[in-house]
Amino acid sequence: MTYQAGNLPSAIDLVRRAIAVDGTNAIYHSNLGEMCRQAGYIDDGCRAFEKAIALQPGEVAYYGSLVQLKTFSEGDAHLAAMEGLAREIDRLPAVAQIQLHFALAKVYDDLGRYDEGFRHLANGNELKRREITYDETRMHDTFERIRASFGRGLIDAKAGAGYPSPVPVFVVGMPRSGTTLVEQILASHPLVYGAGELPDFSRLVQQLRTGPADSIEYPESVPPLSADRLRDLGRSYTEGLRRRAPGALRITDKMPGNFMYVGLIHLALPEARIIHVMRSPLDTCLSCYTKLFGQGHHFASELGELGRYYRHYAGLMAHWRGLLPPERLLEINYEAVVGDLETEARKLVRFCGLPWDPRCLAFHDTQRPVRTASAIQVRRPIYRTSQGRWEAYRNHLGPLVAALGDLADPASSPT
């Protein structure tokens, strides 16, 4: 319960006590490593995962966790161990095979051995794709239904009907686009609480079914909503935020997939700020392809499907851009943040209606739990090594470039 409540220091203390009682339990050390990762204790996290591996060297998941915390060099003993496991990979369960492929891909990326790394990425994603159910046609139909349901007439007809709270700040975009960095910058402001990725709004949307036997789902459930129901939706969401941080003037929710609900967010919470984070399409998609997500993001396991999903996301964001007033939707570019942190940070703070605070520039020093795949990156000052990362894999990204079409980075076109 301590961990689930977000009290990482107390949770870490409890697991350390458990290890003091039974230091031979590899799971205890793995749990400690994961908590240290989220808290930003990188060295402690590495030691914990290394201890788990020492106790249970055949458990692939521990290697998968370790590789996210350290940069590998040639001759690393843990790389040799993973390569040994890979030589008999067919003997491993499917889940372990997937984990091992992704772990080795990350290590080979560290070493600059990109062709070897991509081979493991392709194998890992192919195996993962077999394990999941993803209906691409249905997903694309959902995008089209959202655009069809939210037109100018609906937005104008229901304007001002929601709950007028300035507290919520939504940070949306594709996974791996920089949403965690943007939230970390804002959460470094003393008047802002960074709540992380919340399922709250999506859960409330699922409760909005209307019609006979409550059979009409989102997005068709939105046009029939009364002003009272929109206000109740906004109030319920805001009250949930308030319970997390009663004294904060702004509370961020960086669930990237809330981009699906931007129009409804605006109707239910007309004073909420929505920040859309954008990044190079190829860098974004490659980063998605390299991450073994714990759940969801089923579109990310095949390059063509990934590129087509990105096109639909971009089209929906263009739709929202044409409907929402600029004082409610800010679009921020990850590369611009990396290139000029202060200018972009000031823009973010100003958009949220807050006075400037220089602590936003030292975001990497902010102590708060970060549970996303970017937990390590936001503990470091601004760096540029992830920009143009796709170029190292250029020869392998043909299906992605083709699926992105004119959205692909210009440099990806044949010369």
Calculate mean pLDDT across residues 70-86: 95
Instruction: Work out the pLDDT band at 2, boundaries 50, 70, 90.
Output: very low
pLDDT digits (tens, 9 = 90+) for 179-231: 999 999 999 999 999 999 999 999 999 998 755 555 689 999 999 999 999 99
Q: In this structure, are residues 299 and 353 in contact, taking their beta carbons and an 8 Å threshold? A: no
Tokens for 69, please give them: 């915390």
Q: How far is the C-alpha of 191 from the C-alpha of 170, rounded, in Å? A: 16
Q: How far is the C-alpha of 296 from the C-alpha of 195, rounded, in Å? A: 20
Q: How far is the C-alpha of 155 from the C-alpha of 321, rounded, in Å? A: 13
Q: What is the dihedral of CA 25, 31, 34, 40, to 10 degrees?
A: -90
CB atoms within 10 A of CB 137: 7
So what's the pLDDT on residue 414? 46
Q: How far is the C-alpha of 39 from the C-alpha of 95, rounded, in Å? A: 27
Q: How far is the C-alpha of 173 from the C-alpha of 329, rounded, in Å? A: 12
| pTM given for the model | 0.91
Calculate mean pLDDT across residues 28-37: 94
8-131 under CATH 1.25.40.10, yes or no = yes
Please give the single-letter amino acid code of residue 116.
Answer: E
Tokens for 122, please give them: 């392709």
CB atoms within 10 A of CB 356: 13
Q: Is the pLDDT reported for residue 294 higher than 90?
A: no
So what's the pLDDT on residue 415? 38
So what's the pLDDT on residue 5? 46
Q: How far is the C-alpha of 398 from the C-alpha of 282, rounded, in Å? A: 11
Q: How far is the C-alpha of 348 from the C-alpha of 351, rounded, in Å? A: 5
Q: What is the SS3 string spanning the chain?
A: CCCCCCCHHHHHHHHHHHHHHCCCCHHHHHHHHHHHHHHCCHHHHHHHHHHHHHHCCCCHHHHHHHCCCCCCCCCCHHHHHHHHHHCCHHHCCHHHHHHHHHHHHHHHHHCCCHHHHHHHHHHHHHHHHHHCCCCHHHHHHHHHHHHHHCCHHHHHHCCCCCCCCCCEEEEEECCCCCHHHHHHHHHCCCCEEECCCCCHHHHHHHCCCECHHHCECCCCCCCCCCHHHHHHHHHHHHHHHHHHCCCCCEEEECCHHHHHHHHHHHHHCCCCEEEEEECCHHHHHHHHHHCCCCCCCHHHHCHHHHHHHHHHHHHHHHHHHHHCCCCCEEEEEHHHHHHCHHHHHHHHHHHCCCCCCHHHHHHHHCCCCCCCCCCCHHHCCCCCCCCCHHHHHHHHCHHHHHHHHHHCCHHHCCC
Block residue for tokens 């961020």: 252
Class for domain 136-412, per CATH?
Answer: alpha beta
So what's the pLDDT on residue 3? 45
So what's the pLDDT on residue 212? 53
Calculate mean pLDDT across residues 229-236: 97
So what's the pLDDT on residue 204? 96
Tokens for 4, please give them: 């689930």
CA angle 161, 163, 167 (to 5 degrees): 140
Kindly list the domain boundaries of the chain, sorted by start residue: 8-131, 136-412
pLDDT digits (tens, 9 = 90+) for 92-114: 999 999 999 999 999 999 999 99
Compute the mean pLDDT over every residue in the chain, rounded to the nearest whole number: 92
Query: If we measure between CA atoms, which residue out of 101, 96, 107 comes closest to residue 120?
Result: 101
pLDDT digits (tens, 9 = 90+) for 359-377: 999 887 776 555 555 555 5
Q: In this structure, are residues 189 and 349 in contact, taking their beta carbons and an 8 Å threshold? A: yes
So what's the pLDDT on residue 385? 67
> What distance lies between CA 156 and its chain's CA centroid?
32
Residues 6+ apart with CB under 8 A from 389: 283, 286, 287
